[in-house]
Structure 1
Amino acid sequence: MSTLQAGPETRQRVNTAAPFAALPRPSQPAHVIRSDAEAIEVARRLAAGFAVEASLRDREGYLPIAEVDAYSQSGLWGITVPRAYGGAGVSYATVAEVIRILAEADSSIAQITQNHLALVAHIDLDASEEQKKALFGLVLQGIRFGNAFSEKGSKNVAAFETRLRREGDGVVVNGQKFYTTGALLAHIVPIVAVDDEGKGYLVFADRDAPGLTVINDWSSFGQRTTASGSIRIENVRVPASRLVPVAAFERPTAAGAISQIIQSAIDAGIAAAAIAETVAFVRTRSRPWIDSGKESAGEDPFTVSAVGELVIRLHAAEALLERAGRAIDDALAAPDEGTVNRATLATSESKVLTTEVAIAATNKLFELAGTRSTLSEHNLDRHWRNARTHTLHDPVRWKYFHVGNFHLNGINPPRHPWN
């Protein structure tokens, strides 16, 4: 049932200090997608529906609960589960295209998937065989992973103060988290915590576990309905079977590039949406500039050229996005310093272009469409707000540095989720 069918009285708003209750697990198993082509087809179908109320959800702060249920039940949350465990194991070029398609419709919904997909990759890289069977099985049933990674007050993004201690046949976790994208609507919330020796783990806690409190207090001006916010973790008990070491960055793996390509795809989708909105508004609502001598705004030569430049920059970004996906596939097939570095650098290049075209396109929208495009009734500023907010996730100024440092000095880029 869509939010429109449900009616406004049943919708849940974002930005509240009250704890957000866990959603029920799916009553029916999710569809299992079998091929890359099917994944693209399903993404396009879902995107058409997600786009309908994207502006309303942004303006009113409605959480996309029904949309995310449809999304995970569609099978798209399981497309990276390896074929050996029952999934489609699609190409990361396909993953990027799926996310790009969905982000063009609603970038908040697309971002909700980001951590889930990164976690599926970590399970493949770091979990035991028994854990893979169990956790991949849950994913294919339609279980959603959220995240409890970042900490608002720590020294930097990779400094974790959340602690776990061994107790009996499990662990007890305590700490606080922020930027917990997707956790509100998740069924399982993997928590990054460190033990007394400083070793990091992913602790897969049930969303309704006693002591785990998710608060819907995300107040950014952009990506407003990403189901982000804060989490209190107070003596949360998790069995040892749900404890997966964070080891993928201690050796050459594509883990960082996988996390980054999803971010890049979101920005490409935002750019595509902004360009489409620009074209539609200029064609139907904008007036030609007085000095152009043209009958319609779409004939203004400066506007025509500006749209052409944006489209070319978007196509270049999309080409690098696909290239990065292929490089990640190569790194997964034969992981070593060479393939992983190529994947990391290719994804960094992609992230630079998608960031820049997202910012340019969402800004240029108003310049080309004119003053009337800023009216609140159109809510077109959501594209700029989303682009400006999402592209802050990891600064592209460092992407330039790492790419240049490799080509000039032969220094490989660092391996972590933000690069």
Structure 2
Amino acid sequence: MTLTLAHPKPDAAAPAHVPGQPKPSQPAHIIRSDAEAIEVAHHLAAQFVGGASRRDRNREWPIEELNAFSQSGLWSINVPKKFGGPEVSYATLTKVVQIISAADPSIGQISQNHLGVIAAIRTVSDEAQQKLLFDLALSGVRFGNAFSEFGSKRAADFETKFTDHGDHVIVTGRKFYSTGAVLAHLVPIVAVDDQGRAWYAIAERDAPGLTVIDDWSAFGQRTTLSGTVLLDGVKVPKTHLVPGYKGYEKPTADGAIFQIIQVGVDNGIAQAAIDDTIAFVRTKARAWVDSGLDSASQDPYTIQAIGDLKLRLHASEALQDRAGLAVDRAVANPTAETVAEAQIAVAEAKVFSTEIAIAASNKLFELAGARSTLAEHNLDRHWRNARTHTLHDPVRWKYAILGNYFLNDVKPPLHAWS
């Protein structure tokens, strides 16, 4: 399989209403093993990393990169074998996300909701709907998201609603943090029915009444394009109406899956920051005046700090792998116990990945020195990406979940942030 990339010019003045992308003109590759998934991820990462700084600096949409990513087969790696997918371990899936995110964490994050929706379809859809939607994913169709809302009191409060019209529903509302929607082919919308239950209404990206606005202005993860989606009477066939609420009525691995993919993104950011720190110290940083050394890489304090960062990253990766295997067990046998064990393992990994991403991207400047802050290097993107992405959900609540579980036998809550 050959994957080549062309690099579009920076889009300095993106239109407010962004037209959708054409669906794939040819079927996507289908991954056949965990080993192949890792191999393909490394191949793509080698292509993505060269333009990552430029894309961040210019806020350049990763159109060709995303097309290569979804056509590579990596967007269908958690489709069950029963439906023709590879069904890799979630330890492998999260490692794939880490590898891509180390090259460009915006691209890694864009895949997150697609992979999470695939997992939810496996949990809650009937067989006919699973076949329909999994076939689309296997062909290379990308699901975006229109989940979160900007003005609600809590993240799980949804004001977007749909009404029943026989063979279809009509969806009305407004969404923000819609990562992936700009460059998606289909947009899963979290909307509630007249009983207050949340569903995924999966709409065509260019459906009448569905408007995607590129107004994402965060200082990090700049090319996730996580802006606004307006929904004005959007028609969605009931074949594409997924009962997402069922994934949280009883213990399932759905929430842990959404969370563990975030772990992969953060560990990828940490890995990139550490790699760039080492490269800069070796080639550009100067030894401190009092050290009597010829090279910054010989500084014993720098050596110690690099050792500490690498150790903490490897610990975080080990927790990530352990959590992935726990998720596998919960997917195969979802009980109150296996699901809680997966949630706890993922929470532990989430704490470590958050802390190492922030520590590594901050320590970079201390070890590399003042010249590492020059705009020409754009190394601050690692800190900006880490600080932005790790705000997805508060780690202070992860500590509380862990403590309550181990001390009081209280299982974690069932929702997409746990």
1:16, distance to aligned residue in structure 2 (A): 4.6
Q: What SS does structure 2 have at the residue aligned with 1:412? A: coil
Deviations 1:230-280 (A, max 9, x none): 000000011111111121011111101100110001000000000000000
Alignment of 1:287-302 (within 5 A): 287-302=286-301
Structure 1, unmatched stretches of 5+, are none
Counterpart in 1 of 2:393? 394
Q: CA deviation at 1:155?
A: 1.1
Q: How does 1:317-356 map to 2 (within 5 A)?
A: 317-356=316-355
Map of 1:161 onto structure 2: 159
Matches within 5 A, 1:336-415: 336-415=335-414
Q: Distance in 1 between matches of 2:391 and 2:79?
A: 29
Alpha-carbon contact 1:16-1:215 (below 8 Å) kept:
no
- Note if contact 1:35-1:88 (Cα within 8 Å) is conserved in structure 2: yes
User: 1:234 is matched with which residue?
Assistant: 232
* Cα distance between partner residues in 1 of 2:249 and 2:238: 22
Q: Report the Cα distance in structure 1 between the residues aligned to 2:288 and 2:417, rounded to whole angstroms.
A: 44
Contact 1:112/1:182, CA 8 A, preserved across alignment: yes
2:209 match: 211
- Cα deviation 1:128-176 (Å, max 9, x = unaligned): 1110000000000000000000000111100000010011311000000
Cα distance between partner residues in 2 of 1:231 and 1:104: 28
Code of the residue aligned with 1:411 in structure 2: it is V
Which amino acid in the other structure matches residue 76 of structure 2? G
Q: Which residue of 1 aligns with 2:220?
A: 222
Counting aligned pairs with the same residue, the percent is 59
Determine the C-alpha separation between the residues in 2 that align with 1:227 and 1:29. Answer: 25
Mapped pair 1:266 → 2:265: yes
Counterpart contact for 1:16–1:217, Cα < 8 Å = no
Structure-2 residue corresponding to 1:132: 130
Structure 1 Cα separation of the partners of residues 236 and 354 of structure 2: 38
Amino acid across the alignment from 2:5: S
- Encode CA deviations 1:220-239: one digit per residue, 9 max, x unaligned: 00000012110000000111
Q: Quick one: which amino acid aligns to residue 103 of structure 1?
A: S
> What are the equivalent positions in structure 2 for 1:2-401 lying under 5 Å apart?
2-4=5-7, 6=8, 8=9, 11-13=10-12, 16=14, 18-246=16-244, 247-401=246-400
Q: Aligned partner of 2:182: which letter? A: L
How far apart, CA to CA, are the structure 2 residues paired with 1:395 and 1:291?
41
Report Cα offsets for 1:106-143 as digits up to 9, x if no partner: 00000000000000000000111110000000000000
Counterpart secondary structure, 1:123: helix
Is the Cα contact below 8 Å between 1:271 and 1:361 reproduced in 2? yes
Which SS does the other structure have where 2:217 is aligned? coil
> How far apart, in 1, do the equivalents of 2:207 and 2:82 lie?
31
What's the TM-score, normalizing by structure 2?
Answer: 0.98
Q: Larger deviation: 272-281 or 162-171?
A: 162-171
Deviations along 1:335-393, whole A, 9 cap, x unmatched?
A: 10111010000000000000000000000000000000000000000000000000000
**Runs of 4+ off more than 6 Å:** none
> In structure 1, what is the Cα distance between the partners aligned to 2:206 and 2:182?
11
How far apart are residue 2 of structure 1 and its match?
2.9
Provide the rounded CA distance (Å) in 1 between the counterparts of 2:293 and 2:344: 46
CA distance in 2, matches of 1:389, 1:191: 23
Q: Quick one: distance in 2 between partners of 1:236 and 1:169? A: 14
2: CA distance between counterparts of 1:76 and 1:17?
30
Task: State the alpha-carbon separation in 2 of the partners of residues 27 and 99 from structure 1.
Answer: 25
Deviations 1:74-94 (A, max 9, x none): 000001000000000000000
Cα separation, 1, equivalents of 2:212 and 2:138: 24
Tell me, in whole angstroms, the C-alpha distance in 1 between the residues paired with 2:162 and 2:263: 33
Shift in Å at residue 3 of structure 1? 4.1
The number of residue pairs the alignment matches comes to 414
Q: CA deviation at 1:17?
A: 5.8
Amino acid at match of 1:363: N
SS in structure 2 of the partner of residue 235 of structure 1: strand
Deviation of residue 12 (structure 1)? Answer: 3.2
Secondary structure at the counterpart of residue 352 of structure 1: helix
Map Cα deviations across residues 148-206 of structure 1 (whole Å, 9 max, x no partner).
00000111100000010011311000000000000000000010001121111110100
